[in-house]
Amino acid sequence: MQKFNELVEIIGTLRKKCKWKKALTLHDVPKYSKSEFEELMQAVEKEDWENLREELGDVLFHVLLYAEIAKEQGKFDIGDVIQESIEKMKRRNPHVYGNVKATTIEEIEKMWQEIKKKEKEEKAKKLRKNKMKK
């Protein structure tokens, strides 16, 4: 956790002191993220563990950079991102964190997809409702 916090601090420092990193907007970063993710996938395909470790670090850097930009804009921070991920994993894995029985990989994957679909439908319904209020 200490190293994670150090990396978060480094990103904050880079956003303050590095002209290039400071100039990056939320819309600038994806083109760099895409390249990093492609490099990650190549390392997986090649089973290049040393490079995979490096590319995972690069992708993590990008996740934290997005969160830092969002934090600067007063939208959310990395803690919110982590909390969202915790809640999602628990919701989508009721065979582990709830009382649902699923024993095969196929059952688990089907359940995951059904939960995901339901969540997206609920989110879309909420968005429509909010638009109607405006």
Residue 78 is predicted with a pLDDT of: 97
Q: Give CA 111 to chain center in angstroms.
A: 21
Which architecture does CATH list for 1-77? Answer: Orthogonal Bundle (1.10)
pTM of the model: 0.85
Provide the b/e sequence for 2-39 (b: ≥16 CB within 10 Å): eeeeeebeebeebbeeeeebeebeeeeeeeebeebeeb
CB 88 within 8 Å of CB 81: no
Q: Where are the domains of the chain?
A: 1-77, 93-134
pLDDT digits (tens, 9 = 90+) for 68-105: 999 999 999 999 999 999 999 999 999 999 999 988 99
pLDDT digits (tens, 9 = 90+) for 35-65: 999 999 999 999 999 999 999 999 999 999 9
